[in-house]
A and B are shown apart, each in its own frame.
Chain A
Amino acid sequence: MGQPSRQGIALFSVRIEFWRSTGVSVVAIPAPVPQIMSGSNPQGTSAICQNGTIAQSPLNVYVGQKIAFTGCVPLSVADLAISESWSPTPPTQGTAIASFVVTPVTIGAVTTYQESITDVSPTVCGTTQNCDFNSFYWTQSGSYTLSFTYILINGKQNSSTVTFNVSGPTGSNMIQTTMNTTGDVQIQLVGTTPPTPKLILNGTSVNGVQVGIEFTNNATSPAGNTGTYSWVQVLNSTQTHLLANAGLLSCPLAPQSGLDNFYPYPPASPTTTNDSPNNVLTANLGELQRSFNANMYLMWKPTADPACTDGASCTIPVPLGSVNWGWSGDAINTLSTTTGVNGTTWKLSCGTSANAFQASSAYPRWNNTVINGNVTCQ
C-alpha cells in the first residue's frame, strides 16, 4: 500500500480545514468502488469516466485485438485521491505486446521490410480521476486479471478488477511439414535456353508437385473469429562455399540471416506454402556446398472488435509458433555427364532436417531482409 507523500500531508491539512469549515470530517469519508471503462481514451481526460462504457468482467477477447481500458476514481472522492495504480503493469512478460509493425522500404527496385516490436511499458498513474492503462495486444491465450486501486488522502482505499478471457487458434501441431529426409536435395536441369544445372531442394512430391518442403496450416480458429493466417520465414543462417579457380570462397564471407525476401511469406494456396531453395551451378566451379537453416512462423490476425475505432491498429498478427528446418547439399563437378546425374556433370552428397512444430508466442525477429539473387564471394 502506498504511503501519503509530504505533499499529500500538506494537502490533507488544507482539506481538513475545508471539511472542518463545512462540518464534515474527511477522516470518515469512505472510498467507493472504482470503475473500469473499456475502450481507447485518445484525449486522456476523465471524460471517459462519465461518458465511457463500463467494462464487463470477464471480457471475452482474442489475441491480437487492441486492448484499451481506464480506471476511474468515483467523482465524489476524485479530489481526495493521492495514489492510483494498476497491477500487474505491464502484463506478465510474454503474454502481451504494445505494437508490432512491419514497414516496407523501397529504394530503387529493391524493397526491404523493417520490423518494429514494442514491449508494453508500465502504466504510471497520476492523481486525476482517470488512469488509462497503456494499450496493448494479448499475444497468448489464457485468463488474465488486472486490478485498479486508489488511495484517498485519509488512507482509505478500494480496488476493482477486470478479467480478460483471451482466445486464439488451437491445435497440437499447427504447422504440419512434409519433407523427404532422403533424396530431397537434387541436381536438376532447369529452364529452356539452355537448361541450367541447379542444386535444389525439391525431392518431395506433394499432390503431384515437387517441392523442398511444404508447410500446412492445421490451426483451428477460435469460435466467433475466423481471422486470417499468414506465414513469415526468418533465415537463421545461409551460406555457400565454393571451390573455384580462385580457390576456396565463401558466399558471402559470413552466413546471412534475416527475413526471407517478403513479408509475409507468399502463400501457395489458402492453407499451404512451400519452399525449394536452390543454387545455380556454373561450369567454372569445382564444388559448391550450401548450408541453410530457417524458421517458418504461422501468424494469425483476428477480425477487429466492432467497438474498436482505431482503424488498422485495432488488430495485429500474433505468432502461433514455428518450425525450425534446414538442409545442406554438396555438389561436385565431375566434368563428365557420364559420372554426373540427371544429364549434368554434377553429383552430390546431402542432408535435410525438419524439427517438430513448437507452439510459441515469440515474434519472428529480423534486422535485415535477405533477397534472392546474386551473392558476392570472397
Chain B
Amino acid sequence: MGRINNMSNFLTYAILLFTFAIISVKPAESGLPEKASVSITISSTRTDIKLGSPLPIEITLLNTSDHAIVVEQDISRKAEFVYTINVFEASGRETPKTDYYGVHRGQPPKKPMIVEGSSIQVTVQAGKIIKDYADLNELYDISQPGKYTIQVERTDPTTRSVVKSNSIVVTVTS
C-alpha cells in the first residue's frame, strides 16, 4: 500500500514538473509556431446581390494578444491596401482581377493608371478591433451571376505569419 502511495506521489510530481516545463518554454523557443496576435473576420451586409451593384465587405481585425500591437491601415480604410482579398467562383476558379486590383498585386495595368495610398500605423489595444472595407466590384470582374466565395488574409504584425479570415459566400443574381 505504502509503495503504491509513493509511486502515486512520484507520478503527481512528475506530471506537475512536466506541465511547468511546458508552460515555461515560450512557443518560439520550443520550435512551436507563435500564436497569432490577431484574428480576422469578414462579413457582408448583403449576401444576395444584383449584378453590377456594389459588393461591400467589412473586415474586422481583433487584437487577440494580451498587449497593444501596431497595425497598418490605409487612411482611406480601403482593405485592398493591407489585405490580400481572394474571390473564387463556384467552380473554384479565381475570379479575374480588375486593372486596379491587378496593380495592387504588382501586375501592369491595361490602361495608364497608378495606385496611390497613405498608410498609417495604428495602435490597437488588447481585445480591441479595427475595421477596413472593400467593394469587391472594384477589385474583381464579377460579371457573371453565381455564387462567389470570399476570404482575406494579411501578415500578422507580431509573428509575420499569414492570418486568414473566415470564408463567406455571396450570391450574385442577374
Q: Are A280 and B103 in contact (CB under 8 A)?
A: yes
Q: Are A276 and B106 in contact (CB under 8 A)?
A: no
Partner of B114, one of A260, A261, A283, A288: A288
Q: Does B26 contact A (CB under 8 A)?
A: no
Q: Are A278 and B117 in contact (CB under 8 A)?
A: yes
Partner of A202, one of B56, B103, B107, B119: B119
Contact with A along B65-82 (1 / 0, CB 8 A): 000001001111110010
Q: Indicate whether A284 sits within 8 Å of B108 (C-beta atoms), given known contacts A209-B70, A240-B116.
A: yes
* B155: A residues at CB distance < 8 A: 191-192
Please report whether the interface of chain A is mostly helix, strand, loop or mixed according to DSSP. Answer: strand
Q: Are A282 and B116 in contact (CB under 8 A)?
A: no
Q: Are A261 and B112 in contact (CB under 8 A)?
A: no
Closest B residue, CB atoms, query A206: B121
Q: Does A360 contact B (CB under 8 A)?
A: no
Q: Are A373 and B120 in contact (CB under 8 A)?
A: no
Interface residues of A in 23-80 (CB under 8 A from B): none
A-B contact count (CB 8 A): 135
Q: Does B21 contact A (CB under 8 A)?
A: no
Interface residues of A in 352-378 (CB under 8 A from B): 371-378
Q: Are A283 and B108 in contact (CB under 8 A)?
A: yes
Q: Does A11 contact B (CB under 8 A)?
A: no
Q: Indicate whether A109 sits within 8 Å of B104 (C-beta atoms), given known contacts A240-B114, A280-B115.
A: no
Q: Does B89 contact A (CB under 8 A)?
A: no
A288–B116 Cα distance when bound, in Å, is: 12
Q: Indicate whether A377 sits within 8 Å of B120 (C-beta atoms), given known contacts A196-B106, A280-B106, A282-B107.
A: no
Q: Does A314 contact B (CB under 8 A)?
A: no
Q: Does B54 contact A (CB under 8 A)?
A: yes
Central interface residue in A209, A260, A372, A376, by most chain B CB within 10 Å:
A372
Q: Are A374 and B113 in contact (CB under 8 A)?
A: yes
Number of B residues contacting the other chain (C-beta, 8 Å)? Answer: 40
Q: Are A249 and B119 in contact (CB under 8 A)?
A: no
Number of A residues contacting the other chain (C-beta, 8 Å)? Answer: 50
A262–B155 Cα distance when bound, in Å, is: 25
Q: Does A14 contact B (CB under 8 A)?
A: no
A16–B155 Cα distance when bound, in Å, is: 90
Contact with A along B108-128 (1 / 0, CB 8 A): 110111111111111100000
Partner of B76, one of A242, A261, A376: A261
Chain B: residues with CB nearer than 8 A to chain A?
A: 54, 56, 70, 73-78, 81, 84, 99-100, 103-109, 111-123, 133, 135, 138, 153-155, 162
Chain A: residues with CB nearer than 8 A to chain B?
A: 108-109, 191-197, 200, 202, 209-211, 238, 240, 242, 244, 246, 249, 251, 260-262, 265-266, 268-269, 273-280, 282-285, 288, 290, 371-378
Q: What are 28 inter-chain pairs, A to B, with CB distance below 8 A?
A: A109-B135, A109-B138, A193-B105, A195-B106, A209-B121, A240-B114, A246-B112, A261-B75, A261-B76, A266-B75, A268-B121, A269-B122, A277-B118, A278-B117, A279-B115, A280-B106, A371-B76, A372-B118, A373-B100, A373-B138, A374-B113, A374-B115, A375-B113, A375-B115, A376-B111, A377-B112, A377-B113, A377-B114
